[in-house]
Structure 1
């Protein structure tokens, strides 16, 4: 995994709520930018980190590596946080264990931190040593300087077996990285000073690499030291102007030769020049040439004399120093926090590019401008009081405030300002420096939350429903005043108590298992249940409560419950339940009666029909005059028996349907073929000579129908079409196939149905006023409608009195 930068760790600390850690990183970055020496930096870094992580004993240790693998550990600084007061100790004694040190260093050489409870460490020697010192948990991170393991930071906890979260490990690694950079920068500065000193001494005491040009004879002479400087033996380097020119780096040759022109130098007296010369192996070294011109007695230039000093090391160290300084500059410029400095007049003397990103104002143009000009008018008094008081030396040197800054778009942005105030020796205000952190989203969220809380409180206190807030364990920390109306309790009787005190055991378990646990697992977004709450007098009241989670992200911190008294509703539900039970009993009685009545009627009707048939048979033996009236009355009896039998059959079917005892088994059929066959079987040889006209629209396809129920639907509809259109044109059947459904329309040209009576067509035993004299039970359409709905279909009647009737039946292709 790639190592995180300080800026990444800082941003993640802010995102995770680690504001103390982010403040420490900001403080250390300010120390870095102010150029404090590395020991001061280490002291501040160790103490601040230990306080944030609450480590009992912490320290910074350095390593010295000798030949044959020997390592010496030196305690540089220890911090004992639990002492009163907390104590910093430099160069304390340390009991060394070589085997333990080597195990730790092996981990550090791979840049791996070591952390966790001591009892979980793999090394038995390290575990034994740390246990003897009373440590229960550790966090060790390496410190690197100049690509070398310089030392380590060690944090110990003597009270708990702490498991250090990743955020703490990343934070301490960032602090260790800043310590390493501080040490490296100080070492580079010391090295540059030392090189400068050596160079100055060399220039004072010797003339390394001398060379001369005899201007009269145009002869160039190199000293042996000049040649050795370029790794040549005395006889290997040609002494000529051309050879010297070829030694100069091509990029600098023209400029160097122009500036070392003896006659140009003669006018100025002397010259110093840095440039590169190629050595024997083709590599270039940096030299400092100090040259002057000697004149003869006549005042003419006679000799050009120069000395070269090898300054390669100095140049390389200066370049390295520039790179390190650039790294710090880039760090300052790339962090998303504004780093600033203001003078005693309150004007910016420095501000990094983050200022422009957050406010829109140019960082360059803002320098020299008054800090206060960019502050929101309502916050300027606060800034003046805190920062620009001119004589208050006893006040705190550090300030922290939340301020609104103006932006170029006319709005403002909330920022948290951390400042260090500086004073002159006489106590006068000198200036301030610090950082600004963008907290606009957080602040807007806080203000919005505050407004929401105020609205919530106002709304909950004005609601008749009971609104309450509970911790995830049930503790009540808010309840609306309506608690008095529902439970006859005051808010102070409930707040601070556990909700279990007002619930019975059954409802407590139900809420936990059916709502709280599923909410924690993310299985539901909210839960609704009915419970019994205890009033002040101990009586129970039925309530319905809606519980939903409150929290940050996936973690549920607490829940909100909205509870309503449903005592009256509960009573109504019980009454309705009792009514439903009675209705069910009545329906069952009706079904039994219909079944019994149909059976009891069917037996005597069969007997009567048999008797009539026998009477007709005997009547054939009578003479004609006596036979005709006899046959006439027998026919009338037969018709009435058929009507009564049909009525019993319809009643029986209706009873079975309402009792959900009618079988329903849809199967794929060819609808067109089925209807054609049905018509041929039932409607081809009618007495009046009429038949049924069939037409098809759309793409023909199979459908799923229960053949028995559909035969009843189709037969009832076509029979009605014939029955109510006597002496009129043929009834028509049209099949229409659509994309998602299909329809069957049965149309007749008969007597029609009065408009005022069409609303009652699907009521049992209803018959229209214009059907007098036409046989019917008034149950056909009722049964048709129930059979159609069993197929998830619809039935619609379109009719006008005297203009015929259309029965339109629509089905889905795949009924469930």
Structure 2
């Protein structure tokens, strides 16, 4: 059969926290000896009860050892432990409170560390045997008792005068023995306790052999009071056989102060102490239960504790109770307790079990205010999250020190395309979505933000839909009473639509400004270009009118001359109107585009022969062809207008022959018009393709400022480009680049398609 006691103490050897359990619930007197300190102490009240004492009544347990056993019991030799037979019971003698000798048998167990070295000894007292000491042994015991350095011993005669005091009495009360002997014992007692002392003495004299207990106070020089617990015994003097009073006392000052503090604490504590059995029936109820929940002790004793628990919390309570009783663990439980007035109060309870007594202890304290505050906080937080997660703005909250992300709402993911958990790990991760052009600006503002400055910045990000969105980021700083930052708040708005409207307005404004400038230029040009031919025509008409009065043979040559002038000015006027109307058609997208496959060299030679041959100054256009000539898919009407304008300008602004260079590539045709004329100032190049703009060095030279604008538009209709390079006094090069791709020339020859662009 298994010895349960031995098995129990095996557990002790491997589980030191069991000491606390032993101290409270062991059935025997248990002690332990620390071999490394060395230090010895009794673990529970059973050791003290063996000798009829309370723990607070015996400051030094060694004083209760029999003098002959004291040396053996207080000097263990660790080197001899391995030779000690711990299977045998040992014996030791103590002095009982009634001055008899108590012979105790006990067993010992060694606790070793992982290396096998003994570090602690545990003992369990098994039984006792009392015996009356012999006369010589009684004298030894009396001497031991009188010399004890933890007990006050005094004797008085029937008049109440001291006849004996031990050294510890004199030492503790700071009095001289010579001064005390023969004086009244009442002189060393607080005046308010004289009555209680006299009543105890009278009781002793009336009941010889009985111990009378009384607690007395002694005033100290510093004004404080020393509390002592006394036991009076009336006995016959060994010398005179007269009746004397033996007084034995213990210092309980610290205990009284603790009791007073505990009394105050228990009068204000919000804890209720309870105990129940395994069936949940209340076996003990502290008075604090009544104060917290309104029930009297008699109303709750022997009632089921579950009857006071809210129905919604019963499942949790039963589960916790089963776990405590099955596994012997201690659990914390929160539940609602019904007050006597019908209301429900929240309580937090610590539940533990005494396995030996099978009693369950509950320490419960009220937490209603805390739970209400938590509920209010949760409701507030829920309202906050409902609002925060349904607004269009993304926002976050940072702590100042340390700089940590505390909260970020779900809109952040919609705006930046990043989930909040990933952002929480790296507060700068959102920068990956910002376009490179804006990242440096945002990083600089982010540094200001970390330093506690409020910032506002606009930037572009690549959204989760791979389109570019404009964001406006604003930050705010929450400060404490000293003005130090405690929270940083950031708000992000998607301002893409606003930016688009701004761009439209800006473009419209720019377009309006261009139209106004165009209008001004048109008015200025019209006042000059339109008025000049009209004035010339008017002048010729007036002269013709005068020549009509001359004889026909004389007037006819002059009239013919002026008619030619009129014809020439009308042609200029017509060309100006044509260019102006062409600009209007281009702006309205109504220019017909009719490309076809043509022989480019032949087309250029025909154009030059028609418009630039037989010039009065005998200048010609030099044509240069590079590469293998090919047909091109172009609108010959529009391209004729472009080349005529460029070659006309080359003749107009240069005194030397211009050059037309044709270069054929695999997929591209390049046409260049090169002159060695006056060139174009660098400051005018950027504006040269604006309507009615003319270079600053063309004053006095006829022109409208529309030719190059029309030429570029016609080239772009061919999906080509028109560029220029110029240097004043050295000439200008206009370069046209046109694609030479599909369709197949063999299939498209002779076909003509019209596009309106």
TM-score, normalised with respect to structure 2: 0.36
Look at both structures and tell me which one has the larger radius of gyration over its CA atoms.
Answer: 2
TM-score, normalised with respect to structure 1: 0.34
